[in-house]
Chain A
Amino acid sequence: MAITELPDLIEKGLQQAVELMAVAANNSFRFKDLNSLKIIVIGIEEMESIAEYCFSLGDMSPLAARDGRHLIQLIKEPCRLMILGDKRKSPFNYDCGACGYRTCKEMNKAEKVESLTANGPSCQFRNLNLNIATNAAASLAHRLGLHCRVFSTLAFAALSLEIIEDVDIVTSVSVSAANKNPYFDRHEFWTQEHWDETFDNEFPTFKRGFIGAVE
C-alpha cells in the first residue's frame, strides 16, 4: 500500500475542505432565494499581495496593518482564503427602509459612492445573504476541524486590488491547517509598548497616587 505523508494529506484535505465550504456557502439560506454570490478561493500569490496592501495601510488603519502582518505569518503554513462578494442594489422590493431610503427603487437610483472598502449604498438584505453564506462556510470549516476566522479587512483589500471583480460588497473566510490556531490570541502582533500606551490612555487614574492628584 502506498504511503502518503502528512503534508500531502493536509494539502489535499485543505483543498477538499474549501471546496465543501464553497458548496455550503452556495447552499445556505437566502432571503427571497436569491443566489447571486460570487465566491472565489485564492492562493499564496494573491494572499501575498493582499498582505502587502494591508500592511501599507498602516497609518490609515492599524487593524488592516495587523491583519496584513498576520497574513504574512499565516501563508508560511497551509492555508486558503475564500472571498465572497455580491452586488449592492436591491432586487428584493421589500421597501424596508434599513438602507436609509424609503423604497428599494430610490436606493437603486441613488448615486453610487465608490471607495476602497465597498461601494454604497448597499441593500441590507443583500448584505444579510452574503454574510449568512460567509457564516455557513465558516461553520463548516469549524466542523471540519480547520482553524478559521472571518475577515473584512482582507476582503476589502481583495476588492481594491481587483482580485474579486464585479462586486460591491465583500467579506472573506480564512482557513488554515497550521500547527497552532493562528487566528486568536495573537499577542505577538501587539507590542508591550502599545499595550502600555493604550492602558495609560484608557485608565489615566490607575497610576495616580490619590484622588485629585495632578500628574
Chain B
Amino acid sequence: MERSIKQFETDRLESAKLAAKLILASGTTSPRVGGVGECTIHTFDDPCDIEDICQEVEHMAELKENWNFFKRDAAILRDADVLMIATSLRCVVDPADINCNMCGKLVCEYFKEEEKLPDDPEIAFRGPLCIFRANNISYAIDGMMSQARNLGIDYGVYWSAGAAAMRMKLLPKNTGFALGMGISVTEKSPFRDIPANYADINQRTMNDRIIKRLWPQFRSIYS
C-alpha cells in the first residue's frame, strides 16, 4: 500500500514534539550558577498558541522603531513546529548575593534598593535584573541548542518571543527575563537564509494575495 503524505505530516509534527521534550531535558540539566534552580522551560506546540504569541510579537514591533525586526521574527516563528521559552525566575527578586557588580550597583544590597523600570509598553524587561542570575538562561538556551544539534533539529533563538510571552503573562510569576527558541522538523530550516523582508513576503501573505486576486473570478464563475 502506498503511504499517505498526510501520515508523514502527522509523524513529522509528532517527532518535533518528542524532540521538544528531549531538548527541554537538556536545557534543564545544563549548569546553573551555584547549583541553584533558576530557569523553567515552557513548550508551546499548539499552532494556535504559537499564533497568539506571534501576534503579540507583531504588536510589540509596532511600539518601537528598534523592535521593527520583531515582525520578521513573528513571520519566522509562525513556521516553527514548536516554540520553547526559557525563563529566569530569580533575577528580579533574588540577586545572587555575591556582589559581582555586573549590574553596576557594586553590591547586592544597593541592587535591592534600586527601583525597577516602570511597567511601560516600550520596556521589554523591567530591569535592573541580577545579571549573574539571568546568565543562567544562557546555559539553559545553549543546553537546548546543543541537544537540538545532536538530534538534527533546526532551531532559532529569538528574544522577541520571550518578551511577548512575558507580556502575555504566559510564564510563571516573577519571570524577569525570557528567551524563545523555535524548533522545526522540516526539510528546509525556516530559521536560516530567510529574506530580510520575510514579514511581507511569505507563504501566508502570498496565499492571501493570490486569493485576493482570484477570488472575484471564482465568485463570478461559480455563482
- A-to-B contact residues, CB < 8 Å: 28-29, 31, 61, 63, 93-102, 110, 112-115, 117-122, 124-125, 127-132, 134-136, 138-139, 150, 152, 156, 169, 171
Contacts and interface: CB of A to CB of B under 8 A. Distances in A.
Contacts of A131: 135, 138-139, 142
Contacts of A139: 142-143, 146
A100 B110 CA distance: 13
Contacts of A127: 102, 131, 134-135, 138
A152 B123 CA distance: 30
Contact of B125 (A98, A119, A122, A156): A98
Interface stretch (B3-11, B16-24, B93-101, B202-210): B93-101
The majority secondary structure among interface residues of chain B is loop
Contact of B100 (A93, A99, A118, A132): A118
B106 interface: yes
Contacts of B137: 128
Interface string B94-132: 000011111111100000001011000011111111011
B131 A135 contact: no
Which interface class (under 10, 10 to 19, 20 to 34, 35 or more) fits B?
A: 35 or more
B31 A110 contact: no
A130 B138 CA distance: 9
B141 interface: yes
B171 interface: no
B128 A99 contact: yes
Interface of B: 30-31, 33, 64, 66-67, 98-106, 114, 116-117, 122-129, 131-132, 134-135, 137-139, 141-143, 145-146, 157, 159, 163, 176-177, 179
A19 B177 CA distance: 33
B195 to A, nearest CB: 17
Contacts of A130: 138
A96 B141 CA distance: 18
A185 to B, nearest CB: 12
B142 A98 contact: no
Nearest to A31: B159
A152 B137 CA distance: 16
Contact of A102 (B99, B123, B138, B176): B123
Top 4 A-B pairs, shortest CB-CB distance: A100-B128, A120-B104, A121-B104, A131-B138
A211 to B, nearest CB: 31
A130 B104 CA distance: 17
A150 to B, nearest CB: 6
Q: Which of B146, B176, B177 has the most CB of A within 10 A?
A: B146
Given A100-B117, A127-B138, 9 more contacts: A96-B124, A96-B163, A98-B128, A99-B103, A113-B104, A115-B106, A124-B134, A132-B138, A132-B141
A95 B157 CA distance: 18
Contacts of B33: 152
20 contacts: A31-B157, A94-B159, A98-B125, A98-B129, A98-B177, A99-B129, A99-B131, A100-B116, A100-B129, A102-B122, A112-B104, A113-B104, A117-B99, A124-B125, A124-B127, A131-B142, A132-B145, A139-B142, A150-B31, A152-B98
